[in-house]
Structure 1
Amino acid sequence: MEFVDQAVAARAAAIELAALTRATKDAALGHMADALAAAEPQLLEANAVDVEAARAAGTDESIVDRLALNPARIAGMVQGLRDLAALPDPVGDVVRGWRLDNGARVTQVRVPLGVVGIIYEARPNVTADAAGICLKSGNAALLRGSSSALNTNRVTIAALRRGLETAGIAPDAIHLVEGGREITGDMMRARGLVDVLIPRGGAGLIRAVVEGSTVPVIETGTGNCHIFVDASADLDKAIAILLNAKVQRPSVCNAAETLLVHRDIAPEFLPRALAALAEAGVTVHGDDATRSYSDAVVAATETEYDEEYLSLDLAARVVDSLDEALDHIRRHTTGHSETIITRDAGSADQFVAGIDAAAVLVNASSRFVDGGEFGFGAEIGISTQKLHARGPMGLPEMTSTKYVIEGDGQVRA
C-alpha cells in the first residue's frame, strides 16, 4: 500500500478509535499482546537476519544492541502492551471546568491527536510500544522504522494487526511505512493527513524532521546528560550513581555522557571513580586536571563535551564551582536530564533552579528518567521541547484537548 493510501486509511481508522470505550481498547491490547507472544519464533528469526546484516555492514555495537531482540526483550514488549491495558484511559478526562455567569457550562476534555507518525531508528521495541500507546490514547499510528529493523518490524506489525482484527478493530489503525528516504519526506509533508510527527533517534534524524517538516513535530531530543559531583557529595553514593547512569545501559538517551567534578573533592573522588569506571570498561575522555589522576584517561577535545556517545565512553572535567558547572551544562546540554550529587540543600536548590532541562535529578541516576520508571507505562519518547509535552511522554501527552460548552439557549450579548 502506498503511503498516501496508508495515511487515508489511518485517518478513517482514527475516527473509529476516538469513539472506542476503554474496555474495547483494553481488550484489543490484550489480543495484540497475545498475537505478539505467539509470533516469538518468527520475531527471533527475522531479528537474527536484521542483526546479522547490521554487523556485516559494520554497524556500531551500541546500535546493534538497540536492534537486537531476545526472548526477555520480546516478553518485555508483550508485557508492555498488557501493562497499558491496566492504565487509566486519558480520553475524555476533564482537565478543568467551570460555569459562566450566564449559566453555560465549559469543560476542557482530553481527545486523541488523530493520526500520529513516528519515525525511529533501530529500536524494534518502539514498534510495539508506539502502537500500543497510540491505540490506548485513541490515535492511529503510522510507524516508520529504520531499514535496519525492517524484517523485525514487518513481523511485529503483522502480529499487532492480527490482534486488532481479533478484537474487531480496523487493522488500519496501525501501519508500517516502508520505502526509501523519499517516504520519510512524504510523511514530513503530509499536513492534513498526519496530525503530528514524533522523531526518535539520533541528532541527525531529529534535526532533519524538525527543520524539514510541515507537519507539527514533538521533538524527542538526544541525551548529553551530565552528572555534577558537588564538593559536599557522599562519595559512595556518587560512585554508585555514576556507574549506574553510565554503565547499566550506555546505548540509551538517559545514560550519563559527561562527568563534572568540583575541584575541592577531586583529589578524593576522582582516583576512586576513575578506577571504578575503568573496571567497568569505560573509557574516560578528560581535561588535563582529570588526566592527572590516571594515565588511563585520554585527552578530551572540546567537541567531545557535546557528544552523545551511546557507548562505554564518558567525557570528564574538573570545575572550580557550582556556578562553573552550571555554565558548562548550559553551553553543552541537550535539555534532557541533568544530575547533581550533593549533601548541601542550598546547592541542590541552586542547581534545580539553574538548569533548563526536561528532568533535573538530585542524588539519583539519570536512568530513572523513563516513562516506565515514572509509572507511566510504556512511553512514546522523552520530549526535550517546551510546547505541548516535556519529559517522558505517556498516555496523557498523546492527547490534545477540546472545549465543550453546554448551554440552554444562551446567546452572546
Structure 2
Amino acid sequence: MFKDPRLALIYGITFIDAVITGGLGPLFNKYTQDLPARTVWVMAGSALLLGLQLVCSPVLGAISDKRGRKPVLIGTAIGSLLASLFLFPVKAWGYLSNRAFEGTTNGMTSVLRSAVVDIADKKDLVQQTAIQGSITALGAVFGPAVGGVLIIMLPQARYDPQPLVSMMVILAFINIGLTLIFKETCQEDTEPLNRAELKEKAFNAVKVITLWNQLSDVDKQLKGFKSIYILQLLSLASLGYYNYFIAYLVTGDLGLTPRQASYFFIYHSLLNLTVNLVFFQIIVKHVNQRKLLIAVSLAGIGTMALYAFAGSNVTMLYIAGAADALTIGLLAGLISGLMSKVIARSDGQGSLFGNTQALGGVASFATAVATTALTALEPRAPFAFYALAMGVLAYRVMHLPEEAAHEAEAKPQEIAE
C-alpha cells in the first residue's frame, strides 16, 4: 500500500491532527451553552479558525520550502498542543482561543500535502494525494467519531468535555513525537528566511484580488491549473456542511444526544474511510475522473436534500450518511489528486500549496460566514447553499477548458508516461 513508509507517517500525522481539531464533537456546544444563539457561536468559532488559517498557511508553506518540511511540522504540532490546553476551562473564551490557535497551525495541511508530492511516485501521485486530501476534508467527521468512542464508553464524557480534552492533549503529544521522527522530504538546499517576503505573503492572503492575480500568473506556467483550482474552491464551499454537522445534529430538529450523535459519526466515518481506501487504492486507476466528478456533484445535491428534510427521522439521517459516503465523500480526494498532478510539474510546492490554501481559506471562511448567517435564519437553509455550490461545481466540470479537461480525464498510468 505504501511504497515509502514516510507516506504512512504523513497520513498518521494528518489523521491525528484532524482528530485533535474536531475531537470534541457534539460537546463543542457546552462551551457556548450560556450564550444566546449557541449554534451561531459554534459556527463563529469555525469562521475564526478559517480566517487565521487564511493568513498563516502561505507563510508556513513558504517557510517549509526554504527551511524544510520537518521544522514547520514540529512547530505546528506544538501549536496544536497549546490549542488543546485552552479547552480545559469550559468557557466561551476557551473555545474561541482554541479555534484561534488551531487556525494558526492549520497550515500543517499544506505542508503535509507538499511532503506527499515530494516523495510519491508520479504514477501513484493521484492516489496518495487523494488519500491525504480525503483525510483532511473528512477530519470534521473523523474527529467527532474518535471522540464519540470515548463518549460511548465513558458516561462522564457525555456531559463533561474534560475527558475528551485530555484525549486531545495526549494525541497532541503523540503527534509531536511523530513529527520529531519524521524524515525530511524536501531535498532542496535550505535558504535564509526573508521576513519582508513572509510578511507580504501574510498580508496578500487577505487580498483576494492579489491572490486571484497570482493564480492567473501560475496558470500561465501550469496550463489548466486555474480551472482545476476553481473546482477546489467550489468543493470547499460544497463540503462546508462537515463543519456544520455537529451543530445541526445536536441543536436541530433531530436533537440527538451526544451519545446518539457519536454513533452516527462513527458509522459515517467508517463508511467514508472504507469507501475512500477502496476507491483510491483500486478503482481510481480505471475510471474517467471528469465524468465521476460530475456524477458525484449532482448526487450531492440530492444528499443535501436528504439531510435538510430528515426532520426528526434518524433512519433518514443514516440513509443520507450512506449516500454521502458513496458520493460526496470522494469529492475532496478526487480534486486533491487533480491539483497535485498539476502542482507536481512545478518547483516550490510548499509555497504553491500554501498560496492555494490561502485562497481556499477565503472560500472556507466565506462559507463559514454564510453558514452562520443562514443558520440564524433557518437551521436547514445552509444545505441549500451547499447544494448550490455542488450544482455550480458540476457545471464547471462539464465546461472545463481543454488543458484542464485532459488532466481530469487522464488516468494515472498516462500521467506517469
TM-score scaled by length of structure 1:
0.25
Structure with bigger strand share is 1
Q: Choose between structure 1 and 2 for higher RCO, CA contacts under 8 A separated by at least 6 residues.
A: 2
Structure with bigger helix share is 2
TM-score scaled by length of structure 2:
0.24
